[in-house]
Structure formats: C-alpha cells, structure tokens
Structure 1
Amino acid sequence: MSEPLRLQGISASAGYAEGPLFDLDQTVVSYVGKQTADDEKAALEAAIAVATSRLTALSEMAEGDAADILEFQIAMLQDDALSSPAFAAIRTGLPADKAWRQALDTEIAGYDASDQDYFRARAADIRDIRDQVLRALSEDGDVQAPTGAILYGWDIAPTRFLETDWS
C-alpha cells in the first residue's frame, strides 16, 4: 500500500482539512491555433473581451480594495499599450496564446524588477490578467475548484480569490 500524499506549506487557517486538491498554478494548454493571423487576432480580441466582461461582472459585486484591484485589471485590459505587443507578435506568425503569454510575461518581468513596492505588488494583477485571457482562449474555459477543495499553489490570483465560495 502506498503512503498518503503529504504536502507542506503555509495554511490559510489552522486545523485539519480533507478534500480534493485543486492546483491554483495549473496552466492552460488546450489552445488550438487558427489558420491565419487575422483569425488569431480575432481570437485574442474575443478572449480579451471575455476576460473584461468577467472582471466587470465581478467588480459589480466587489467593494473597497477588491473593487480597486478589479478596476485596475479592467483598465489594463482596455489599454492598447498592454495588448499591442501581442498583436504585433501575431502579425509575425505567433499564435494568439503564445503572443499573449510572451507580451504579458515581458510586462510582468518589468513590474517584478521595479524598485517600488507598489509596482512589484501589481505584478500579481498582471499575472492574473494574463491567465484570465489565456483561459478565455482555451478550449478548457475556466476550470472551477470543486466544492470542498483544498486550494494549493504558489499564490491565489485576485480574481480566483473573489470568485471562490468560501462557505
């Protein structure tokens, strides 16, 4: 008989937990490339619109700091400066998912390298934006944690935290 799986980390609360594990760091891998650069561009535009719509719906229920974070994310998604590098990469032949990931990873690296705490903290928001759009591009869509799941991962994205039913 095999030994039970034991994970160690920093828990959000003390006590014993039992339930299915949900990996917060799982990556989206099911994007199917399109035939043309125009189709890739359209797919990315649609995914950005889906992510913006989801964030807008969440922001309508949020208050205080949560609302501020969501407003920041929506503003970033609506800013052409964020998406322009991805669209430029699509014109060179990259599929939408790789172009978006490459553009946002570059942006994230800049935020992470900042000497200001505020900008380093915003890197988590940019990661969340990246992943929101990648999920919208994916055939998998948005995978939700099952009821009673134990969430584990490096960090919990702001939108994942706000979407989770903590009851």
Structure 2
Amino acid sequence: MKTLIVEKTASGGFTMGRAFVVNRNNLSADTYRIESKDADTEIAKYQKAVREATAQLEELAKTSDIFAAHFEMVQDPALYAGVTDKITSESQNAQLALENTTAEFAAIFDSMEDEYMKERGADVRDVRDRLMRSLKGITQNVLEGIHDKVILVAEDLSPSDTSNINLDFVLGFATELGGVTSHVSIIARNLELPALVGVKGLMEEVKSDDFLILDASNGKVILDPDEETIQKYKALEEEYRKHKKELEALSSLPATTLDGKTVKVYANVGNLEDVKKAVHRGIEGIGLFRSEFLYM
C-alpha cells in the first residue's frame, strides 16, 4: 500500500476502483524544414486539417460553450496567419508551424494572473492537438477502451478528451497536471465526482488496472490498499453520501442566519446546464456568468 499526498482537491468525495491510465499518441511536430516550392503544399495540409477540425467541432459546439469557443478558435484568422506565415517566411512544415504558433497563443494565457484565465491556455493546446491529429492522420481514440466503471488517471484531460468518454463509467478523476479551475475540475464538480489534480508522480506510480482509493476530501490517492483500509473507506463513502442527501434536503430552505438575517444565494454559471442545476438546488439568481469564452 502506498499513499500519494495531494495539495489540490478539485472536487470532494470518496471512491475506489480500478485505474484506467490514459496513454496518449505522440503529437510532437515533425521538425524538418521545407523548400520554398513546398510552401503551398504545406498550407494546403493545414487548410485540410482546419476543415476536418471545424466539421468535428460544429456538432460538439451545439451543446457545449467550451467547444463553441474551440469552433471559433480553430477558424481564427490570427491563428491561420501565424501558421501560414511560419510556413512561407520561416520554411517550417505545417506541423511545426502549428506547434510554434499555438505555443505563442497559449503563452499569453499562461502569463495571466487570474487562475481561471491561466487555465485557458489548455484550450489552445486542445485545439492544437485536434489539428495535429488531423495533420498526422491519427484517428484512434485513446479513451475508447473504457467499458467498465474506472478511476480515470491522466497527465491532464482536455475538453476533447472528456467529450469522447462515456462519463457513466467514470468513478472519479486524478491528474498529474491541472488546477482547481481546469476543465477536468469543472467537469468533476458539475458531475459531483471526486477529483484530485496536480498529483505529483501519478503517472509514474499508477498503471492501468491498479486498484485505487481516491480520497478527494483529504487529498490522498491510495494505491493497492489493504482490506482494513478498503473497509474504512467504504464506511466513509457511505457516510459522505448520507451527508450529501441531508444537505440536499435542506437546499430549498431560505438561507437565514441564527440571528434572523436572510441572505440571497446566487450561483456562478457558464451554460444552461449550470442554470438547471442551480435551480434544482434552490438558488435564487445568477451571481456570476462566466463569459470568458465569448471573447476567446
């Protein structure tokens, strides 16, 4: 039995089960330089990748604000100009031009002080990966092997990753990278699933089918637990579930303090699904509408 201590709890709770470790395709760009006569060919490759990515995102964008932003981003004139300029002026092949241009875009978000906006660099990298898969002719979905309930373990998870998962099979999330405002953190909170992010050494320690306990209330990942620990956490999981039901039963009551002062409780929302959940929990209004994606 081994325990990894985690500093960032993205979504609280307890769960246990087998790990499904996400092993990604190699999406590093080819680094060869091109001759000037080949520039048009490389631009045509990139244009084809944009068309394919746009077609993929068009359907996803109908039900997701995140993918609506990706849909706009993949067609962004500034992105297109950056890639094609590197092809024509710097003799970079299409893959390398895409990698370098998106690195510049992502760096803008990475340098921001606001934690939520900083995490949006991950969206730029997700768009890059979608385009890169097209340029490399990669069609395999690395998450297609999930057919049973598992704890999803990955270096990080992008919006495109989670769109390919049947979330009914996910017991919880653990990632080596990411923060509490990352996409996987938001997904986990919306689904009320346990999630730990920024777990140092996770990918080195955990293999697919390892049995894990995810203690997202106390910041622990327990590998290969003994029977005593399993029974302890089964009891904690049941206690946590009962406590949540008790709180849900109280959610429709007015938020009144012991001295008789009633306050209004508003929700932070980013889409219609967030609004529906807020109404279900008795929230009285919207305190913050996350409009960032409208300007990306």
Q: Which bin holds the TM-score, normalised by the shorter protein?
A: 0.7 to 0.9
- Correspondence list, 1:52-67, <5 A: 52-60=54-62, 62=63, 67=64
- Is the Cα–Cα contact under 8 Å of residues 90 and 99 in structure 1 kept in the other structure? yes
TM-score (norm 2): 0.46
Q: Percent identity?
A: 23
SS at structure 1 position matched to 2:15: coil
Change (3 A) 1:120 1:14: same
Residue 109 of structure 2 is aligned to residue 107 of structure 1: no
> Are the structure 2 counterparts of residues 138 and 151 from structure 1 closer, same or farther at C-alpha, using a change threshold of 3 Å?
farther
The structure with the largest alpha-carbon Rg is 2
Distance 1:68 1:28 in 2: 25
Q: Output the aligned Cα RMSD.
A: 3.0
The alpha carbon displacement at 1:139 in A equals 2.6
> For structure 1, which segment, 38-47 or 148-157, has the greater mean C-alpha deviation from structure 2 after superposition?
148-157
Cα separation, partners in 2 of 1:83 and 1:7, compared to 1, 3 Å: farther
2:69 corresponds in structure 1 to 72
1:96 to partner: Cα distance:
0.4
Does residue 1:39 correspond to 2:41, yes or no?
Answer: yes
TM-score scaled by structure 1? 0.77
Asked whether the 8 Å contact 1:125–1:158 carries over to 2, the reply is yes
**Relative to structure 1, is the Cα distance of residues 102 and 32 closer, same or farther in structure 2, using a 3 angstrom cutoff?**
closer
Instruction: Check conservation: 1:114, 1:120, Cα contact below 8 A.
Output: yes
User: Aligned AA for 1:80?
Assistant: P
Moved more, 26-35 or 43-52: 26-35
Q: Is contact 1:31-1:139 (8 Å) kept?
A: no
Given that residues 43 and 96 in structure 1 are in contact (C-alpha distance below 8 angstroms), is that contact kept between their aligned partners in structure 2? Answer: yes
Secondary structure, aligned partner of 1:115: coil
Is 1:162 the equivalent of 2:163? yes
For residues 104 and 3 of structure 2, the distance between their equivalents in structure 1, rounded to whole angstroms, comes to: 32
**What is the CA–CA distance in structure 1 between the aligned matches of 2:19 and 2:114, rounded to whole Å?**
40
Task: Number of aligned residue pairs: give it.
Answer: 155
Matched residue type, 2:73 = M
Equivalent positions of 1:131-150 (< 5 A) are 131-145=129-143, 146-148=145-147
Greater relative contact order, per chain length (Cα 8 Å cut-off, separation 6+): 1
Q: Is the 8 A contact 1:112 1:120 kept in 2?
A: yes
Given residue 85 of structure 2, which amino acid in structure 1 is its aligned partner? A
Q: How many Å separate the matches in 2 of 1:93 and 1:120?
A: 31
Q: 1:29 to 1:122 in 2, by over 3 A?
A: closer
Residue in 2 that maps onto 1:81: 78
Structure 2, unaligned runs of 5 or more:
169-296
The DSSP-based 3-state class of the residue aligned with 1:16 is strand
Is contact 1:23-1:152 (8 Å) kept?
Answer: no
* Structure 2 contact 42–87 (Cα < 8 Å) conserved: yes
Once residues 58 and 153 of structure 1 are traced to their aligned partners in structure 2, the CA distance between those partners, rounded to angstroms, is 23
Q: Which amino acid aligns with 2:146?
A: T
Greater fraction helix:
1
**Deviation for aligned residue 1:166:** 2.5
Which stretch has the larger CA shift, 38-47 or 136-145? 136-145
